[in-house]
Each structure stands twice: as C-alpha cells, then as structure tokens.
Amino acid sequence: MMDWTDRHCRYFHRLLSRHALLYTEMVTTGALVHGNVPRHLDYNPEEHPVALQLGGSDPAELAQCARLGGQWGYDEINLNCGCPSERVQRGSFGACLMAEPALVADCVKAMVDAVGVPVTVKHRIGIDQAQDYAFVRDFVGTVSQAGCEVFLVHARNAWLKGLSPKENREIPPLRYETVYRLKSDFPHLTIAANGGIRTDAQVTAQLERVDGVMIGREAYHNPWWLAQWDAQFFADTSRDLSRESVEAQMTDYMAREAAQRGTPWSAIARHMLGLRNGLPGARRWRQVWSDHNLKDLHPREVMALAHEAVEQVA
C-alpha cells in the first residue's frame, strides 16, 4: 500500500471505523535513518490504534527505526516480509526475506529489545511456485521464537521473478488452508489472514478459523465498507454515520491541513474518491473532487459543487 495509506488516508479511514487497527504504508529503514523522520512518521492523533510498517533487513537499523516509532507513539511495529516488488528485493527486504528466517528472527529480536509495543510480521505463505507447507511453518516457528507473537499472512505465494506487484496479488492462487494450518500448528500465536477478502461474509468465515483479518486495497477502493465494521465486528453500535457527514468532516480536515501545513486539498481528496462507489452520480462526484481547476477553492465550496453535480445526475 505504498503511496496509498498515508496519514490523510488513515485519518479518513478512522472516521469510518473507530476500532480497526490501521497500518502505515511501508517505510524503509533508509528513509528514516538518512531522511526526514517527521515527514515519514508524523500522523494524526485520531489515527490510534495505528501500526508503523517498516521495510528493512539490517537488525541494527530496524531496531533504530522501531525505537523511533515507539518514541513517536505508534501502537505496533510491523516488519514487512511480504512485498514482492523488484525494487524492494534490490534492497534485500520484503518477501525475499522469507528465504532467510534466521535473519528475520535477528531483526525481530532487535526490534523487540528496542520497543515496548508489539512487534509483528506480515508475510506470504511461500516464495516463487513452491508450495511446501514446511517452508512457511519453519519461517513462523523460527521468527516466533525471537519474540513475534502476531503474524499477518497473505495467503498467496510471492513470485519474485516474472510478475509485477499487481500480478502478484492476482495470479498466485489463494490458499487459505495454509493459513488455517498455521493457526492449528501455532495456537498460541495470533494469526491474521490477508488476501482476496472483500465481503462481510468472507471476513466472518475467516474469523471462524483465524484470529484476525487484514484488508488492503478493497478498503481503499470501497471505503464505505469500513463504516459497517464497528457494529459488525466490534459490537459498537453507537454511531450513525452517513457518507455526507464523513465528507463534511474530511473537508474540515482539508481546510485545517491547508492552513497549518499548506497541504493542497487534492492531496487529501484523492483518498476518499471511492466514498460514493455504487451510488447514482458517483462518477460526477469523483470528477469534481478530482478537478485541479478548482484547486483554489475552499474545500467546502468544492463539496457544494460535487453535491450539485450529483443532483444533476439524479
């Protein structure tokens, strides 16, 4: 979810669900060790609970970055061992780390020693086209001994050559049974399933077999789905949300960000373009919020134009 789940996106998603754990986009250790730390780690207090996802393979650097995340107040530090992109592989981290469980264990141990919040790992069920369960079983077993108690498991292999990141989310077959088997073999660990989950029914079915579910792009493209989660999965029925109320809160946030940081509203609005998916006039509404010719207008004025466009279609 790099370049997707920035702090503006997470603020939007938090308006939809009070309880879902939010994850940052992957931040590389190099970006934190050598770059602008506040730019990468700043977030809105409303985002809690929020986890910092790190990408890296050097235990000392990961410990340093985990420590920064702890100082910044993140609720969890997550190590990405699932991203299959060649750019990430060139940095010797992401999914290719699954081939080195001892190194991942060293990284996790260094991070656990550096922070007082949970250190978790996101990974695939295998790499390339091998479907040997022992591979992922031994990976989880080795890493758990270093102090990781939570594993977020994308139920597909990561093909390290020949597929784009998009193809890696679609072509390797989903094998949820492997995730369930991990839960059976490691009942003391928290195992969450990820990959291809798009409906409440699918979430419910997964929760009968594992401890949690991670949703990626579907939550981004169909964000209104999140508005049901608190009542359905967290027994919180105290809110009565509407798309219009969420949009209004986002316009207030855009105005505040513009005043305090000079952030253009378009950099924020892009994350909520799926809010009206499936409704009449959704396309016109998206067009208004994507119109850079309106960049000098106040977000409330843009919202009014978007609503006018929807009414014209209706």
**3-class SS string, 24-53:** CCCEEHHHHHHCCHHHHHCCCHHHCCEEEE
Angle at 63 between CA 58 and CA 67, to 5 degrees: 150
Residues 218 and 97 in one domain: yes
pLDDT for residue 197: 96
Both tokens of 238, joined, read 């105290």
Q: How many helices (H) and strands (E) does the chain have?
A: 16, 8
- pLDDT classification of 169: cutoffs 50, 70, 90: confident
CATH, residue 249: 1.20.120
User: In this structure, is residue 238 part of a structural domain?
Assistant: no
Both tokens of 113, joined, read 């020693």
CATH, residue 104: 3.20.20.70
Distance, in Å, from the CA atom of 80 to the CA atom of 127, rounded to the nearest integer, reads 14
pLDDT for residue 115: 98
Residues 129 and 257 in one domain: no
Q: Percentage of the chain with pLDDT > 90? A: 86
Q: What is the mean pLDDT of residues 149-168?
A: 88
Residues 215 and 252 in one domain: no
Both tokens of 118, joined, read 């949970």
pLDDT for residue 152: 98
Is the pLDDT at 87 greater than 70, yes or no?
no
CA distances from 161 to 97, 158, 287 (A): 15, 9, 37
Both tokens of 305, joined, read 């134009």
Beta bridge partners of 191: 151
- Whether 83 is a known active-site residue: answer yes
Distance, in Å, from the CA atom of 112 to the CA atom of 67, rounded to the nearest integer, reads 9
Most confident region among 73-77, 126-130, 163-167 by mean pLDDT = 73-77
Residues 282 and 154 in one domain: no
Q: What is the mean pLDDT of residues 192-203?
A: 96
Q: What is the largest CA-CA distance in the chain?
A: 61
Q: Of 206, 233, 260, which residue constitutes the final position of a domain?
A: 233
Q: Of 207, 233, 259, which residue constitutes the final position of a domain?
A: 233
Provide the mean pLDDT of the chain. Answer: 94
pLDDT for residue 90: 53
Is the pLDDT at 83 greater than 70, yes or no?
yes
Please identify which of the residues 9, 83, 107, 148 carries the catalytic annotation: 83
User: In this structure, is residue 101 part of a structural domain?
Assistant: yes
pLDDT for residue 228: 94
**Which is nearest to 210 in space by CA: 248, 242, 176?**
176
Q: Of 191, 212, 233, which residue constitutes the final position of a domain?
A: 233
**Is pLDDT larger for residue 163 or for residue 118?**
118
**Domain range enclosing 256:** 243-313
**Which is nearest to 282 in space by CA: 241, 248, 247, 240?**
247
Residues 296 and 271 in one domain: yes
Please count the CA atoms within 13 angstroms of the CA of 147 that sit on its side-chain side. 17
Residues 218 and 259 in one domain: no
